[in-house]
Amino acid sequence: MLETRAGLIEVALGRKAPDLLIRNMRLVNVYSGEILDGQEVAVWQGRIAYVGPEGKAGEGTEVVDGKGMYLLPGFIDVHGHADFITNPLSLAQAILPTGTTGMLTDTHDIAGALGIGGVELMLEATRDISFRYYVAVPSACPPLPEFEGEEVFSREIVEASLGKPRVLAVSEVTAWGRLMVPEPEFLAKIVSAAEHGKRIEGHMAGCSYEKLNALIACGFTSCHESITAEEALNRLRLGLYVILRHGSIRADLEPLSRLVTEHSGPDTSRIMLSPDWFSPMDILKHGYLNYLVTRAVELGIPAIKAVQMVTINPATYLGLDREIGGIAPGRLADFMLVKDIARPDPAKVWVGGRLAAADGRLLMDFPKFPATPLAAWRKGRVPRSPVMAADFAVKRDGADKVEVPIIQMVNKTITKTVMRTLSVTDGLIELPPDLMKISMWSAQAQTWMKGFLGGFGARIGGYASSIAHETHMPMVVGSNDRDMAQAANRMLEIGGGTVLVEEGQVVGEIPMTTGGILSDTGVQETAENWTELNEYLHKKGCPFDDPLFGLGFLGFTGLPYVRITPSGVVDIRHKEVIFG
């Protein structure tokens, strides 16, 4: 680094030729909020050496004519999920040409799938690529150990993880209710993260004002779960960085944009934009952070402020503003040329001074993300095999009818409890035409815990998946016990993923070769496979825009109101098993 800084001094003073010089462009200065003409940018050994008028080229300098376009810093996703469905290397390849050059990614999905080995795999596989991945590690995995199995991330493991390079934060704390007690061990992890100077990502959905205060007092630093401008403003006023979310899980930018457009000019330096997560299909349809900037401008947020929300604001929040987030001397040379700042679709993208993409086409090679065998799955995730049809029978002796709670899907992420009276024949609960069974493997009980599912719309024979956010215990849904068993066995045979079986025939499958949750294909192929199964489910009657995503969230205890877990069906609000 000493030699690099010495070289940058020489280039800045005109005594050494830069490697790259960008001229004839309009510089978007995110520090001052200005757009400057007559500026040139000189790069040497991957860093910016000079910004100002009349940069000096020399022998061997590559001179790029900006043709009057805008030069913007590379975009940074401050709250990504590169460990879910699309693997991080395929994701980076897809979004680099759209101008996103860096991301803080959660790892609670791959941790749920592979334990601490999943975090280590993410760090190792993304270490030497032309994309800047930073990592947040879980503090609670699983979110509710009393229902989902023993805690994977002890205080010692969390503290050791926080010391690793590129680990900048504790990933979103979906189990924040446990801090209201508070649980001493859990609170100790949060305090340790704060003492390490790490960010603590909030997931404060449905949090009252008093509880919001309590969590910020714990050390929480940001939240992406606001769905109204008022909620976002409350978080901002209490000292949080606020992430305006607009992606595949929720698209709330229209109401959230009023935080900027309808209030009396709040300071926007602590406001950021993130999709939270984009499905492969939405990446192909929209792009990535370039789409969020475009949408923000359409909703009335000034273009320069929208750009700051995906550049200098996240860089400052992450403590990386001396490295990335702006175009200034000493910073890494991550930037792009765009024709329209209000619609920043890049003509060219550079990472570390190297041209990474042009006109939507990636110009750099990436390795393949490593696959993992079933033996590498987190302890207890691999069920007893072969799976049998009898595993999914729901028995009740001594009655002709029984009242049971149904997991009723309200939309693809929210559920509610509906009580139903079902018939019992020969000791087995009969399944009405509008319901299906839902089952999750329990390592503790060494059996499949069962419940009933309503509201999905599509009645299918058997669907098995190793994607059940965020513990990713194998889950099976269906109306035919034989099809359910066949789907489960096939899912294990292909090394994890999703399998759909109807009347003894596999009608669709999507292998997920890393931990059972990450595809080894590119975004295009993953999207095609995902879309094919979704379209099948739509034709069968499912009303949701992404049925597979909805199924994958039926085990997520971080959302209301009732979920399938390894302990059975759990009422999340009251923290009790209501069927199992």
pLDDT tier, 580 (very low <50, low <70, confident <90, very high otherwise):
confident
Of 160, 239, 164, 173, residue with least CA distance to 200: 173
pLDDT above 80: residue 555:
yes
- For residue 568, give both structure tokens: 């059975």
All structural domains of the chain, each given as residue ranges with its CATH number in brackets, are: 2-59 (2.30.40.10), 77-362 (3.20.20.140), 374-579 (no CATH)
Q: Quote the CA–CA distance of 554 and 213 in Å, as a whole number.
A: 29
pLDDT tier, 531 (very low <50, low <70, confident <90, very high otherwise):
very high
pLDDT tier, 559 (very low <50, low <70, confident <90, very high otherwise):
confident
Q: pLDDT over 70 for what percent of the chain?
A: 100
Q: Quote the CA–CA distance of 109 and 120 in Å, as a whole number.
A: 13
Q: pLDDT over 90 for what percent of the chain?
A: 96
pLDDT above 80: residue 264:
no
Rg (CA), the chain: 25
Contacting residues for 96 by C-beta, under 8 A, at least 6 apart? 130, 131, 349, 351, 356, 357, 362, 364
Give tens-digit pLDDT for 335-356: 999 999 999 999 999 999 999 9
pLDDT of residue 263: 72
DSSP 219-260: T--EE----SHHHHHHHHHTT-EEEEEBSSS-B-HHHHTHHH
pLDDT above 90: residue 527:
yes
pLDDT of residue 560: 86
Dihedral angle, C-alpha 410, 413, 417, 423, nearest 10 ° = 80
pLDDT of residue 270: 98
Determine if the pTM surpasses 0.95. yes
Picking from 299-303, 397-401, 486-490, which range would have the lowest pLDDT averaged per residue? 397-401
pLDDT tier, 528 (very low <50, low <70, confident <90, very high otherwise):
very high
Average pLDDT, the chain: 96
pLDDT of residue 397: 84
**Pairing between β-strand 241-245 and β-strand 100-106 as defined by DSSP bridges:** unpaired
The residue-averaged pLDDT of 168-172 equals 97
Q: DSSP label at 473?
A: -
The residue-averaged pLDDT of 535-550 equals 97
Of 424, 432, 430, residue with least CA distance to 398: 424
pLDDT of residue 398: 80
Cβ atoms 470, 381 nearer than 8 A: no
pLDDT above 90: residue 399:
no
pLDDT of residue 317: 98
Cβ atoms 36, 26 nearer than 8 A: yes
Give tens-digit pLDDT for 197-251: 999 999 998 899 999 999 999 999 999 999 999 999 999 999 999 999 999 999 9
- For residue 460, give both structure tokens: 């299918």
| Secondary structure E strands in 139-195 | 167-173
pLDDT above 90: residue 186:
yes
The residue-averaged pLDDT of 3-8 equals 93
DSSP 35-70: EEEEEEEEEETTEEEEEESS----TT-EEEE-TT-E
The residue-averaged pLDDT of 42-62 equals 96
Of 52, 50, 55, 113, residue with least CA distance to 81: 113
pLDDT of residue 474: 98
Q: What Å distances lie between residue 159 and 106, 116, 167, 169, CA to CA?
A: 16, 12, 11, 11
